[in-house]
A and B are shown apart, each in its own frame.
Chain A
Amino acid sequence: MTYDALILGAGHNGLVTACYLARAGMKVLVIEKNDWVGGAAVSRELTPGFTYSNCSYVASLFRPEIMRDLELPRHGLQILPYEGGAVFQEGGGYLGMYRDHDANRREFARHSARDAEAYDVYSRDVLRYCRFIRPMLLRTPPDPARFRPRDIGELLFIGKQVSGLSERQIADMVRFWTMSISDYLDHYFESPVIKAYLAVSAIIGTALGPMSPGSAYVLLHHYMGDVDGNIGAWGFARGGMGSITKALSSSLQASGGEIRTGAPVARVLVKNGRSIGVVLENGDEIRAKRVISNMDVKRTMLKHVEERELPGDYVASVKKFKTRGSSGKLNIALDAAPKFAALPEGSPAIKGDLHFTDSIEKMERAYDDWKAGHFSRDPFQDVMIPTMIDPTMTPPGKHFMSCFVQYAPPKIGDLAEGGRDWTDADRDAFGEACLNQIERYAPGFRNLIRHVEIRTPRELEAEVGLTEGNIFQGELTFDQLLFNRPVPRYANYRTPVRDLWICGSSTHPGGGVMGAPGRNAASEILRDAKLSPKDMSDAWPVL
């Protein structure tokens, strides 16, 4: 039988696309190489009784319009906003973060009265840039080199957004988008630890340091989401990040879509320049009117499509697409909650994100290690204990701890010589560096560990299929954003092969568990198939 749509990869974007297509009446099949769905939004039991969010670990970017359209709360999704957070300082101090504005202000003032004032101005300015960019998330980028009505219309839409700002605001925004987060924060703040805390979102998942120009945009990328309408807020998916993809699967099946796991694809079948289906690794053929890949553009086009089916300059462009991995992850099962020496008993700070990097200089030095082809000796870690808020993930009294680590290079060793693959010994040394760092601030922590999973870019690529372990399916620099993502001319989710589409994070607007690429791709596919998108809310009206 022939499906209307065959989706390769059951990550969150693939499932979002599948849901929208199924709701519009298409016969949809999602195939997944792993024995479970979710891609990088998964909950897995890697040691008995403990559920791990073992890849992505917090939610905020997931578009609320998609949650509503696909009725995800009805299918079990619940986002729990979290509060708190702390940066532990060398020498025993800390900076806490609280959701309550006044509490937070007092805490900032403890480090710098001036910075407490500046934080309100800073928040206002960053929120302005967020508001500017959010309406672009659920739109197909224009191709500025073409003069088709749609491209011109989309360009006008952006123009209209810009014209709503004052001359001064536009100039400031251009500065913000192009500068480094370090320089940007210097305009507002003086306290190194406050700057270190605020710079975090600018480096998560990117192959940039906080002193690299362009890193301020990455900050925005992490700020433009919301939880319950609270822009910039973050939360946990109850039951782990896999709850998002479980709800999507359930929503898909409710609309008649099918999912087949344990079915790795070998090759996309192309006939007369059109894709007609795929061959699985086991030799099975699946036919479909269109094939939509949730894999990143490199993996899709360079590994699963024969090069002769593609124009040479397209292949060259895809090869230039940068997917350097920069992150690793430790997932830890704990017998009890760790005690951080600096935090007072009962501090809510422990419910949020915990960092051990108290200056931008330390972050930047960690990046220098990455550039030299080594994992950071004094890494930056974003540590979360979701079980502080969501008790469903572990047995009572036990905890799951997620440690996101910057930086870990895709290859080890001298980059001038190309580097070599990670070995198990490298991976263990990387894990040790991270665990020892935590132990320094939470003495006795190591005694609480029941099980640790260490993931380097090698593991991320092997399991999740992210090329070079890049969590965004491609770096978030201007040469790879908007109409340049993934490659110029093909930012509209299409490829040179007719009926072969891309719907993952290597398309606009990029990575994070956002769902926007999947939704936008579905919108284009339905438009192409002359079907009207049912239940697809247009968050922001066209002109």
Chain B
Amino acid sequence: MPGPSFDRDVIVIGAGPNGLACAHRLASKGRKVTLIEAEATPGGGIRALPDLAPGLTPSLAHLVWQIDPRVEAAMDLSRHGLTWEATDIPTTVIGRDGNLVIRGPLTEGPDAAAWKALYQRLLSFAAALEPFRRMAPPRLQAGGNSWARLAKNLIGIRALGTKDFRELLRVILINAHDVAQDELTDPRLRAALCFDAVLGAWAGPRSPNTLILLLDRLAGEIAGRKGALGLPKGGMPALAQAMTNAATAAGVSLRSNSRVSRISIADDRITGVILHSGETLVAPVVISAIGPKATILSLAGTEHFDTGLVTALRHQKSRGGTAKLHLALSARPDFRGADLRSRLLLAADEHEVETAFNPVKYGEVPDRPVMEIVIPTAFSGGTGPHLLSANVQFAPHAPKAGEDAAREAMLKACLARLEEAAPGISALITRAGILMPYDIERQFGMAGGNWHHGELAVEQMLFNRPIAPLSRYATPLKGLWLTGAGTHPGGMSGAAGRNAADAVLEAKA
């Protein structure tokens, strides 16, 4: 009996960076790909949000920490319209007694030498671990592993040299707070190290296993520069546009404004998807980039999986701890003279970062949040109104006091903190908006409002991401695959999309 006939090879659900990278890879390998996006504009977490004020277009993500070099090269993003406003953005920490500028390994003050040594050591550790990002997570027992590749990666780590290898084994699961205290004296540097380690995580810097999150972040590169921060010209939506252009140029058929309501399954095998409109799209392979929980528990249906897997997935942790603040300002704010063409950190020391996490553990709002601020309009040198975009830590994903009360309290705490760091800023605000983790969940579909569709924490990394039985992009349901930030290695670098596409291609070969 002939199988069903399909007019396309693959459906990818969700046109975020990973969905786009995945669809592009498959299309460029000759597959007929349909990419389905629920929103009007592709991009997911980097898409343009409605204008806050005329000309001020915010987005959820506001900086690029990493684009997978394989993805950037394959999609040829510069040909498709990506140009950089800045590729090596410095960080300015707004401290209690003055600001401190950090440019990669360089900074001022008594810790300059210590910081340089520490930063470079962390970069070398990050580089040694980075190859694991570019492969499906290893299996723990024989079968299915690329042993040559694993051996190469391990030799790469040992090649750090005996002393650094030992140090890496010591610090691999250490907390950021202890490293900051051991190696640095300037509270502002300690704050920066701790803040960057827990940015986007549901953990304070005293939590063990936080330094590795910083290593993961430093593993990326922008325009060939390791650990750099980039801002595309036109903001993050411009990156989404370039990726979309590249994908469609490779033959991906993009369907926006199309929300999937079910994945259709017949005889324990994928047959396609059913849209909210009722339309059915058929394909033998469906790859979902919208998050493991949403895909398995909602779109496919738990009845197709064994109960152990469903239970494990339900318990997978996906607590968002970061709120997003957007302000429209009538004029340039003054952060005590800080260069606004930098990333501003409002965190005085390591304790402040930790203390801001305390109440969130109990579903409460912190009095003094810490935050990372980007003013994209300051980079383009515009003289008009400015957009201030901030990632605020920490915010409860399920507040005890109720969602509206928590949102209001959070906004108030943020504005008080801002006024302290930039006296007079309150008078400049013409519009303010804050997205709490639960708002982010609603608007972007990210479980718990967590950026990574599931916390990026050591116990949910590699062969445990998102959960052990789903860690190599395949699912037990024939034809259904996972990608996106919820799969290894997380994030919006496109690496998960690329790895998943390669896994699908390999399985088909």
Q: Please list the residues of chain A having a beta carbon within 8 angstroms of any beta carbon in chain B.
A: 144-146, 163, 166-168, 170-172, 174-175, 178-179, 183, 186-187, 208, 211-214, 320, 322, 361, 364-365, 368, 371-372, 415-416, 477-479, 483-484, 488-489
Q: Which of A145, A170, A479 contacts B162 (CB 8 A)?
A: A145
Q: Report yes or no: B459 in contact with A213, Cβ–Cβ below 8 A.
A: yes
* Complex Cα–Cα for A187 and B459 (A): 13
| Chain A positions within 8 Å of B167 at CB level | 488
Check A478–B165 contact: CB distance below 8 A: no
| A186 and chain B: residue at smallest CB distance | B315
A183–B209 CA distance with the chains assembled, in angstroms: 14
A479–B358 contact, CB under 8 A? no
Contact among A179, A320, A364, A478 for B459, CB-based, below 8 A: A179
Minimum distance in angstroms from A189 CB to a CB of chain B? 11
A168 touches B468 (CB 8 A): yes
| A-chain residues with CB within 8 Å of residue B459 when the two chains form the complex | 174-175, 178-179, 183, 213
**By the criterion CB–CB under 8 Å, are A174 and B464 in contact?**
yes
User: Which chain A residues border B165 with CB–CB below 8 Å?
Assistant: 144-145
Cα of A175 to Cα of B462 in the assembled complex, Å = 11
CB closest residue in chain A, given B463: A171
CB nearest neighbor in B for A143: B166
A488 touches B166 (CB 8 A): yes
B294 at the interface (CB under 8 A from A): no
Q: B206 contacts A212, CB within 8 Å? A: yes
Q: List 12 A-B contacts (CB under 8 A).
A: A144-B165, A144-B169, A171-B471, A172-B468, A178-B457, A183-B459, A186-B315, A208-B208, A371-B206, A416-B187, A478-B172, A488-B166
Whether B464 and A416, one on each chain, are in contact in the complex, defined by CB atoms closer than 8 angstroms, is: no
- 15 other A-B residue contacts (CB within 8 Å) besides A170-B141, A186-B315, A488-B166: A144-B165, A145-B162, A167-B139, A168-B469, A171-B463, A175-B460, A178-B459, A179-B457, A179-B459, A211-B361, A212-B206, A213-B208, A213-B458, A477-B174, A478-B174
- B508 CB within 8 Å of chain A: no
Known: A171-B468, A415-B351. A214 touches B139 (CB 8 A): no
Task: Tell me if B317 counts as interface (CB < 8 A to partner A).
Answer: yes
Docked pose: A208 CA to B173 CA in angstroms: 14
| Chain B residues positioned under 8 Å from A144 (CB to CB) | 165, 169
Across the interface, which residues of A come within 8 angstroms of B469, CB to CB? 168
- Nearest CB in chain B to that of A163: its residue: B141
Q: How far is the CB of B214 from chain A (nearest CB, A)?
A: 15
Given known A171-B468, A212-B206, contact A478–B140 (CB-CB < 8 A)? no
B351 x A365 contact (CB < 8 A): no
Given contacts A171-B463, A479-B173, A488-B166, contact A213 B139 (CB under 8 A): no
- The yes or no answer to B362 lying at the interface (CB within 8 A) is yes
Contact with A along B328-363 (1 / 0, CB 8 A): 000000000000000000000101001100100110
The answer to whether B170 and A484 touch across the interface, beta carbons within 8 angstroms, is: yes
Indicate whether B250 reaches chain A with its CB closer than 8 angstroms: no
Report Cα–Cα, A179/B206, bound state, in Å.
Answer: 14
> B215 near A: Cβ within 8 Å?
no
Q: Is the CB of B458 within 8 A of A171?
A: no
The answer to whether the Cβ of B306 comes within 8 Å of any Cβ in the partner chain is: no
Main secondary structure of the interface of B (DSSP, over half): helix
* Beta-carbon contact of B141 and A213 below 8 Å: no
Of the candidates A208, A416, A477, the one whose C-beta lies within 8 Å of that of B351 is A416
Query: For residue B317, which residues in chain A have a CB less than 8 angstroms away from its CB?
Result: 183
Is B207 part of the binding interface, using a Cβ–Cβ cutoff of 8 Å?
yes
- Residues of chain A with a CB closer than 8 A to B169's CB: 144-145, 483-484, 488
A163: chain B residues at CB < 8 Å are 141
Contact of A171 with B140 at beta-carbon distance under 8 Å, contacts A183-B317, A214-B208 already known:
yes
Given contacts A168-B468, A488-B167, contact A478 B362 (CB under 8 A): no
CA–CA, A168 to B355, complex, Å? 37
Q: Does B7 contact A (CB under 8 A)?
A: no
Query: What's the nearest-Cβ distance from chain A to residue B399, in Å?
Result: 14
Q: B148 to nearest A CB, angstroms?
A: 19
Interchain CB contact under 8 A, B207 and A212: yes
Most B CB contacts (10 A, CB to CB) among A183, A214, A479 go to: A479
CA separation between A163 and B140, bound complex, in Å? 9
Which residues on A sit within 8 Å (CB–CB) of B174? 477-479
Residue of B170, B187, B362 touching A479 (CB-CB under 8 A): B170
B123 interface contact, C-beta 8 A: no
What's the least CB distance linking A212 to chain B, in Å?
5
B461-480 to A contact mask, C-beta < 8 Å, 1/0: 00110001101000000000
B173 and A171 form a contact (CB under 8 A): no
Nearest A residue to B319, CB-CB: A183
Asked whether, in the complex, the Cβ of B170 is within 8 Å of the Cβ of A322, the reply is no
Pick the residue among B141, B171, B182, B208 that contacts A167 (CB under 8 A): B141
Decide: A213 and B457 in contact? CB cutoff 8 A. Answer: yes
Distance between Cα atoms of A170 and B139 in the complex (Å): 10
Enumerate B208-248 residues with CB–CB distance to A below 8 Å: 208-209
Is B203 an interface position by the 8 A CB rule?
yes
Residue numbers in B under 8 Å from A212 (CB-CB): 206-208
B209 touches which one: A168, A213, A415 (CB < 8 A)? A213
**B206, A167: Cβ atoms under 8 Å?**
no
Q: A178-B458, A213-B459, A365-B362 are in contact. Are A187 and B315 (CB under 8 A)?
A: yes
Contacts A171-B464, A171-B468 given; does A477 touch B173 at CB 8 Å: yes
In the complex, A6→B172 CA distance in Å? Answer: 37
Q: Which residue of B lies closest to A483 (CB)?
A: B169
A213 touches B203 (CB 8 A): yes
B403 close to A (CB within 8 Å): no
